[in-house]
Every structure is written in C-alpha cells, then in structure tokens.
Amino acid sequence: MDRRDRLIARVREGFRHAYGAEPTDFFAAPGRVNLIGEHVDYNDGFVLPCAIDRETIVALGPPGDAACFEAVALDMGEADARDSFDPAAPITLGASDWQNHVRGVVGALARHGHRVEPARIAIAGDVPIGAGLSSSAAFGVAVALAMSEHSGLGLDAATLARVAQIAENDFVGCACGIMDQMASAASVEGHALLLDCRSLETVPVPIHPGLEVTVIDTGIRRSLTESAFNQRRAECEAVAAHFGVRALRDLDPAAFAEGESDLDPVLRARARHVLGELRRVEPVAAALAGGDTAALAALLHEAHVSLSQDFDVSLPAIDRLAASVRAALGQRGGVRLTGAGFGGCLVAVARCEARGAIEAGIACYNETAAIPASAETFAPVAGAARIAAS
Ligand code: GLA
C-alpha cells in the first residue's frame, strides 16, 4: 500500500466509524514548499512554490437525517473533532480552528453567491502541522473542492484558492496571502508554479531533471506565528501607505532609496526584504529550469540572510542549520528558510547527486542541536483533484 492508499483507508475508516455509512467520493489537495518569493504574496508580488506529495484527503457521503453539514477531523484530537451546522443558515464561528476552516469555506462560498448542499465529510492528512508546508491550505482547498463538486458548483482552481484564503483570513484569523492556496489548487505535476499574486496568473516552471527539491525539517514547530505573521503584514502595508502605493510590489526601488531615511528602521528593514525578494523570483525560476546551481546557491543564500536579518523570521538554530547545509553543498545547490518562518523547514534545491552532501550538513548540525533536523526529497505533484478510491 502506498502513502495515498494508506491515507484513503484511514479516512474511509474514520467516515464509517463517525457515521456508520460508506463515503461515496474522495478529494485531495497537496501541501507545498515555497522555493522563492517569501512574504511577498500579500505584497502582491510573484512567488514560486511547488506542491509536494503530502496531502489532505476529504471523504464525502450523503447527509444524515438532519440534512445538515457534518464534519469529522481525524487528526485534531478527541475533544472537538466533530462539527455540525446548517449550511443554508448564516455561518457562525465554531469552537476550533479546523471547524472554522470548514465553516469559513461555506461562509466564503455564500459570499460568492453559492449554496453548499448538506453532506457528511471526514478529513485526514499527512502534511505535517506547523512545519511551514501549508497543512492549513491543503485542508481548506480540499474542503472547498469537496463542497464545490458535491454542490455542483464546478469552481476553478483560482476560485477554490480564494475561498480557502477567505476562510483563513476571516474565520480563522490569519492574514495569510494567496500563495499556499494557489499552490495547493493550481500546481502542475513535475513543475514549480510561478504565480502573480495580484492577477493570479500562473506559469508552470519545469524543474531541471538534474535537480531535486529537498525539505529539511528543523523539528522546531512554530509558535506565536499568527500574531507575528499578522504584524509583518501590517508593517509592509504601513510602508506601502507611507509611499502612497497600493502594495510594495508597486514601490519603485529608486523611490524607496530616496525616501527610506524617513522610515522607522524596522519598517525600512521589512521593505528592504520585500523589494530584494521581488527581484530574486525570476532569476530563481530561470536557474531552476536551466539547472544553474551556482545561481541557486547565491540567490537562496541572499534570500535566507534577508529573511533572517531584515524580515526577522528565522531563529539562531535555523541559521546554523542553513549555514551547515550551505557549506556542505558548495555550488551544487542552494538552501534557505521556507514558509512563514519562526520554525518549520528549510528548502534545498540541489543536484540529485548532492543528496549525500545535504545529509552530511544536517549530521554536522545535529551533533550539537537540541532538536535534530531531518531531510526528505519530494516529488512535485499536481494540485487539488477528485481521486478514485477503489
Ligand atoms: C505563510 C502564508 C503565505 C505566505 C507565507 C510567507 O505560508 O500562509 O500566504 O505569506 O507564509 O511567504
């Protein structure tokens, strides 16, 4: 049995156990790792994530007698692992984040003028939670797709992503951008996804066959992410307002250079990261497709330093791990912090033969680390879809 089959068996069993009935349909949405363009999605910039073969699966079946919407989450502990509400009534908040992801999708669909039909769902996944690999987006997009298909809405990938983002922004309370949901909804197998976060236009970027994407889990789980994340976003918006532009994407670097001395030093550093990161996205996309590992080494290092020093979302242990892997890799690839930060994962894009070097860099770090790091290489997969389950 492969990874997905095991997950399907678990979610099917969870459905049977919760409702005493068989599910009729299955939907899946992947997590993602971001290769470049960090903390630029909510500044309307370009990003380059890649969907990974870890996912959330939703099993769906007809409603019970009460004709309400019922959900059971198999990974969320016992206490409030079930929820039930009337999808036609105004949506109120649930008792926990996962419930608000589900309710939020119904609420967001209602705002788009769509009605969700009653159903029963069970949800399970294997995207690690709190690791910076977008378990929340996978969850939201899988639920949105299941509701869209079940209710005959046939929504496209960008609408599913928007709906899942609205659920997270307005019902869960995280001011996240659109990158994770778009990566989960719209990715193309074997490719990274170059995404314009303003227009939502996407261009699949092939990954050179000599390269592979490795996720290095620091083992450090994020804490206080929501408040720190929302604060970073507010700081970026304050700089945009200061310069009178819609978003930092529209801030001309020359105008920034001229006016930056009027800014508070923290705001100046945040904007410096965003403007620098915006310039790195296209060259990284080109290096990824062309297999230029020396360019990847330089650009990903610059990005890491900028996230650590100017955006202040790294930790000393993460900087040590990145330095150790970077030293071991040399010019064979690049490595940097990925995702929101404050813990989570590094991403390495390197020659396939350099896997041993990445392991050596991690082993060296682990000799003195409080929490050991570990690496896994992922295949870039396609975005959310209905899946067959025999
Ligand atoms: C989180 C958010 C995204 C994005 C990244 C940082 O994953 O959900 O919208 O802002 O952080 O790039």
Residue with the smallest CA separation from ligand 1 atom 10 is 39
The residue type of 221 is R
pLDDT at 109: 96
CA distance 49 to 383: 12
Pocket of ligand 1, beta carbon within 6 A: 34, 38-39, 41-42, 134, 176-177, 179-180, 339-340
In the block, tokens 């396609």 appear at: 382
Which tens digit of pLDDT belongs to each residue from 88-135? 999 999 999 999 999 999 999 999 899 999 999 999 999 998 888 999
Cα Dmax for the chain? 67
CA of 338 to the centre of ligand 1 (A): 9
Q: Which of 83, 97, 180, 217 is catalytic?
A: 180
Complete DSSP assignment for 176-238? --SHHHHHHHH--TTEEEEEETTT--EEEEEPPTTEEEEEEE-SPPP-SHHHHHHHHHHHHHH
Distance 353 CA to ligand 1 centre (A): 30
Catalytic residue status for 53: no
Q: Is the pLDDT of residue 192 over 70?
A: yes
User: What predicted TM-score, i.e. pTM, was given to this entire model?
Assistant: 0.96
Measured between alpha carbons, how far is 165 from 157 in angstroms, rounded to an integer?
Answer: 12
Residue 136 has pLDDT above 60, yes or no: yes
In this model, does residue 224 exceed pLDDT 60? no
Question: Which residue's C-alpha comes closest to atom 5 of ligand 1?
Answer: 340
Given a cut of 80, whether residue 321 has pLDDT beyond it is yes
Residue nearest to atom 1 of ligand 1 (CA): 340
At residue 78, the pLDDT reads: 67
**For residue 136, which atom of ligand 1 is closest to its CA?**
8
What pLDDT digit, counting tens, does each position of 147-190 carry?
A: 999 999 999 999 999 999 999 999 998 899 999 999 999 999 99
What is the mean predicted confidence (pLDDT) over 378-389? 94
pLDDT band of residue 80 (cuts 50, 70, 90) is low
* Pairing outcome for strands 211-217 and 374-378: antiparallel
- Cα 362 to Cα 321, 335, 352, 356, 368, distances in angstroms: 7, 12, 16, 10, 11
Query: Residues 276-305: what's their mean pLDDT?
Result: 98
Mutate to test the pocket of ligand 1, among 180, 231, 346 (most ligand atoms within 8 A of CB): 180
Q: Which residues lie closer than 8 Å to 363 by C-beta, 6 or more apart? A: none
Supply the residue whose CA is at minimum distance from atom 8 of ligand 1.
176
pLDDT, position 362: 98
Half-sphere exposure for 39 (CA within 13 Å, toward CB): 32
pLDDT at 226 over 90: no
**What is the band of 223 on the pLDDT scale with cuts at 50, 70, 90?**
low
Q: Residue 227: its pLDDT value, please?
A: 82
pLDDT at 48 over 90: yes
Ligand 1 center–CA 304 separation, angstroms:
15
- Ligand 1 atom with the smallest distance to the CA of 39 is 12
How far is the centre of ligand 1, averaged over its atoms, from the C-alpha of 39 (Å)? 6
Measuring from atom 2 of ligand 1, which residue has the nearest CA?
176
**79 has a pLDDT exceeding 70:** no
